């Protein structure tokens, strides 16, 4: 006798339906699973057998063959346990044969028959939403997150026995309350505790408003990391759809779930991170830091210290906002729309351009150090800013209580600029930095004087074609922050001032 159930395999952040077919054959007691299971799934045999017997059902005392189709697709993870157990019980006649055929089942089984939290619930819920399946049966611990996707029938269960009861009795789905989007995203550090550094704060405000990449250059101890870490505090909170995207990527990378958070992610990988760690990869492709920073900030401190190949590999996600990884016959894609904030010292010793002549580096050493970041990567960075060292007396002069917190004002201007962009593009998924060249022509609204200015600059500063358009986009964001319809010369001048010629030259 044969019975079928449905579950899924997760490829990247997308679930692919897997047909689980069980057959009980009158032969010696044996249990096999075919269809490219990984080791976690091969161990499913023991979990399923114990869970079935401890839930008050009997495991067939004959040969059991479970096939997972499509056979060519590698299947990972223990979330197929539930579909395997149910298909075996149906094939053994302990459940009507077609009882489970129009449900998607996910859940890892514990030996006592309880359903454990699984990391694939959002991907599975997406699959159910776009298919014509009846509903999703899943562990109770996963239900609130999966309910964030509206209009799908969810059947949460705690035990294998409950699942069998749902299937036999066809109980209607209960009401599952969706996990709320956490609306206290700005609990992280704010600019309240950063004294001075107004140029860097201005640049980060422009970056948050229009989605432009930043390079902070300055000696050690000037507060580059502090400035970058506080960027999420002035960014708009994530919409529910964006928060779901972020949660999906966390599930795909097997990170602990943070539920649905409106806080933009902030990732700061160490410079020793491998290319696969940064971009994504591995024999079973997993998202890299660029994807974990999706809809948020990727902060790369000590930029020249990163592996050259890792930095070069950054170029594609920066341009396309997505990462594709090919392995055997499966191509996996991960979203990667992030804001790059990079920081570096001006020279190997770190003190070039500072007072007191502390720098001991030779010009050739400085050139070599700066050349570690390639021209094409620098071209994708729109805002270069010098972060000067703070005089030792600076902090002592201003008592903490008198320090003004600029964060709310910066945030208000960023939100205003974002609202203008939403109106311009009639969508919240576009920002000035993502404008196509056609949009740039029709929507940038450059005044004639500004146009002349940028053309002159393109000629004298030898801007590349990419540099030219990127400077225009930055100017558009500056005009948005100033609530100006057109890009005026001061906006254009400011935008051009952030494009440095190749190599770092210290303070201007
Ligand atoms: Zn130096």
Cα 311 to averaged position of ligand 1 atoms, centre (Å):
23
Q: Is the pLDDT of residue 102 over 50?
A: yes
C-alpha 504 – ligand 1 centre gap (Å): 12
User: What is the per-residue pLDDT across 14-33, written as a single tens digit (0 to 9) for each?
Assistant: 899 999 999 998 888 889 99
pLDDT in tens, 421-449: 999 988 877 899 998 888 888 888 889 98
Q: Any idea what the Cα angle at residue 120 is, between residues 115 and 124, rounded to 5°?
A: 100
Cα-trace Rg, the chain: 28
pLDDT in tens, 191-247: 888 888 899 999 999 999 999 999 999 999 889 999 999 999 999 999 999 999 999
CA-to-CA dists, residue 76 to 175, 333, 411, angstroms: 30, 17, 43
Banded model confidence at residue 500, pLDDT cuts 50, 70, 90: low
Tell me how far the alpha carbon of residue 369 lies from the centroid of ligand 1, in angstroms.
10
Architecture of domain 2-169: 2-Layer Sandwich (3.30)
Peptide bond into 500 cis (omega under 30): no
Cα 71 to its chain centre, rounded Å, is 30
The CA 145 to ligand 1 mean position distance, Å, reads 51
Find the 358 Cα to ligand 1 centroid distance in Å.
7
Question: Which of the four pLDDT bands, split at 50, 70 and 90, describes residue 502?
Answer: very low
Determine the distance separating the centroid of ligand 1 and the alpha carbon of 221, expressed in angstroms.
Answer: 14
Give the per-residue pLDDT at 397. Answer: 60
| pLDDT value at residue 245 | 94
Whether the CB-CB separation of 240 and 185 falls below 8 Å is answered with no
φ, ψ dihedrals at 334, nearest 5°: -125, 140
Confidence band (pLDDT; 50, 70, 90) for 503? Answer: very low
pLDDT at 187 over 70: no
> Cα(300) to centroid of ligand 1, in Å?
20
Better-scored residue on pLDDT, 66 or 355: 66
- 191-414 sits in which CATH class? alpha beta
Q: How far is the CA of 385 from the centre of ligand 1 (A)?
A: 18
- Ligand 1 mean position to 376 CA, how many Å? 24
For residue 178 the two structure tokens come to 């969706």
What distance in Å separates the CA atoms of residue 82 and residue 199, rounded to the nearest whole number?
57
Residue with tokens 């906002």: 321
- Cα–Cα nearest to 403, from 197, 95, 178: 197
CA 310 to ligand 1 centroid distance, Å? 25
Q: Report the separation in Å between the CA atom of 354 and the middle of ligand 1, taken as the mean of its atom positions.
A: 9
Conformational region of residue 197, where left means phi above 0, alpha means psi within -120 to 50, and beta covers everything else: left
Q: Are 153 and 173 in contact (CB under 8 A)?
A: yes
The residue ranking higher by pLDDT, 265 or 77, is: 265
CA dihedral of 3, 13, 120, 255, whole degrees rounded to 10:
150
Distance (Å) from CA 362 to ligand 1 centroid: 8
| pLDDT for 150 | 85
Q: How far is the CA of 368 from the centre of ligand 1 (A)?
A: 12
Give the Å distance between the CA of 226 and the centre of ligand 1: 22
Question: At residue 269, does pLDDT exceed 50?
Answer: yes
Ligand 1 centroid to residue 344 C-alpha, Å: 12
Q: What is the per-residue pLDDT for 279?
A: 94
Domain positions in the chain: 2-169, 191-414
Each residue's pLDDT tens digit, 348-358: 998 888 877 78
CA of 278 to the centre of ligand 1 (A): 28
Question: From ligand 1's centre to the CA of 502, what distance in Å?
Answer: 18
How far does the centroid of ligand 1 lie from the alpha carbon of residue 274, in Å? 27
Among 336, 260, 340, 344, which Cα is nearest to 306's?
A: 344
Closest CA to 424 of 469, 485, 382, 482: 485
Contact predicate 7/106, CB 8 Å: yes
Provide the token pair at 43. Answer: 């161990």
SS (H, E, C) 398-445: CCHHHCCCCHHHHHHHHHHHHHHHHHHHCCCCCCHHHCCHHHHHHHCC
* Distance from C-alpha of 411 to C-alpha of 448, rounded to nearest angstrom: 31
**Residue 351 CA to ligand 1 centre (angstroms):** 5
Residue 446: partners with Cβ closer than 8 Å, 6 or more residues away: 454, 472, 475, 486, 487, 492
Q: How far is the CA of 193 from the centre of ligand 1 (A)?
A: 28
3-state secondary structure of 137: strand
How many alpha carbons lie under 13 Å from residue 22 in its C-beta half-sphere? Answer: 33
pLDDT tens string 32-44: 998 888 888 888 8
Asked if 325 and 332 count as a contact pair (C-beta separation under 8 A), the reply is yes
Q: Residue 358's CB: how many other CB atoms inside 10 A?
A: 12
Do the beta carbons of residue 106 and residue 147 sit within 8 Å? no
Whole-number Å distance, alpha carbon 383 to ligand 1 midpoint, is 23
- Tell me the CA–centroid distance for residue 402 and ligand 1, in Å: 36
CA of 301 to the centre of ligand 1 (A): 17
**pLDDT value for 504:** 47
507 vs 422 pLDDT, higher one: 422
User: How far is 90 from 96, CA to CA, in rounded Å?
Assistant: 6
Q: What's the gap in Å between 365 CA and the centre of ligand 1?
A: 8
Query: What is the phi-psi region of residue 230: left when phi exceeds 0, alpha when psi lies from -120 to 50, beta otherwise?
Result: alpha
Q: How far is the centre of ligand 1, averaged over its atoms, from the C-alpha of 386 (Å)?
A: 15
Confidence at residue 128, expressed as pLDDT on a 0 to 100 scale:
94
pLDDT of residue 393: 65
Distance 357 CA to ligand 1 centre (A): 9
In 332-403, which residue ranges form alpha helices assigned H by DSSP?
363-371, 375-379, 394-397
């Amino acid at each position: 006798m044969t019975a079928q159930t449905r579950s899924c395999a997760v490829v990247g952040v997308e679930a692919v339906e897997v047909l689980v077919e069980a057959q009980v054959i009158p032969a010696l007691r044996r249990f096999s699973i075919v269809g490219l299971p990984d080791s976690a799934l091969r161990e499913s045999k023991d979990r399923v057998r114990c869970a079935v017997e401890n839930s008050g059902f009997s495991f067939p005392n004959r040969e059991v063959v479970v096939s997972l189709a499509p056979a060519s697709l590698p299947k990972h993870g223990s979330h197929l346990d539930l579909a395997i157990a149910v298909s075996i019980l149906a094939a053994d006649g302990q459940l009507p044969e077609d009882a489970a055929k129009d449900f998607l089942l996910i859940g890892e089984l514990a030996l006592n028959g309880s359903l454990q939290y699984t990391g694939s619930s959002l991907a599975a819920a997406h699959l159910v939403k776009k298919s014509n399946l009846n509903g999703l049966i899943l562990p109770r611990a996963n239900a609130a997150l999966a309910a964030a996707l509206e209009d799908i029938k969810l059947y949460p269960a705690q035990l294998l026995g409950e699942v069998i009861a749902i299937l036999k009795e066809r109980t209607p789905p209960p009401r599952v309350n969706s996990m709320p989007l956490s609306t206290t995203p700005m609990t992280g550090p704010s600019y309240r505790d950063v004294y001075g550094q107004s140029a860097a704060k201005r640049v980060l405000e422009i970056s948050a408003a229009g989605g432009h990449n930043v390079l902070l250059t300055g000696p050690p101890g000037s507060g580059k990391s502090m400035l970058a870490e506080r960027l999420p505090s002035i960014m708009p909170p994530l919409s529910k759809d964006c928060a779901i995207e972020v949660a999906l990527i966390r599930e795909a990378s097997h990170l602990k779930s943070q539920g649905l958070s409106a806080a933009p992610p902030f990732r700061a990988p160490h410079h020793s991170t491998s290319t696969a760690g940064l971009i994504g990869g591995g024999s079973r492709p997993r998202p890299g830091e660029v994807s974990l920073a999706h809809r948020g900030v990727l902060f790369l401190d000590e930029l020249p210290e990163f592996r050259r190949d890792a930095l070069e590999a950054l170029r594609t996600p920066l341009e396309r906002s997505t990462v594709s990884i090919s392995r055997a016959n499966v191509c996996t894609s991960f979203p990667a729309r992030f804001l790059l904030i990079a920081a570096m010292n001006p020279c190997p010793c770190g003190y070039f351009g500072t007072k007191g002549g502390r720098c001991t580096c030779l010009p050739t050493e400085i050139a070599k150090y700066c050349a570690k970041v390639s021209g094409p990567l620098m071209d994708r960075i729109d805002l270069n800013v010098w972060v000067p060292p703070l005089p030792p007396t600076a902090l002592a002069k201003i008592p903490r209580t008198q320090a003004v917190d600029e964060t709310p004002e910066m945030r208000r201007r960023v939100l205003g600029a974002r609202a203008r962009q939403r109106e311009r593009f009639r969508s919240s998924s576009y920002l000035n930095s993502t404008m196509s060249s056609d949009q740039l022509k029709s929507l940038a609204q450059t005044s004639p004087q500004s146009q002349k200015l940028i053309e002159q600059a393109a000629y004298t500063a030898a801007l590349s074609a990419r540099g030219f358009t990127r400077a225009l986009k930055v100017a558009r964001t500056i005009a948005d922050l100033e609530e100006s319809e057109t890009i005026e010369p001061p906006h254009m001048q400011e935008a051009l001032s952030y494009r440095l010629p190749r190599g770092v030259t210290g303070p201007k």
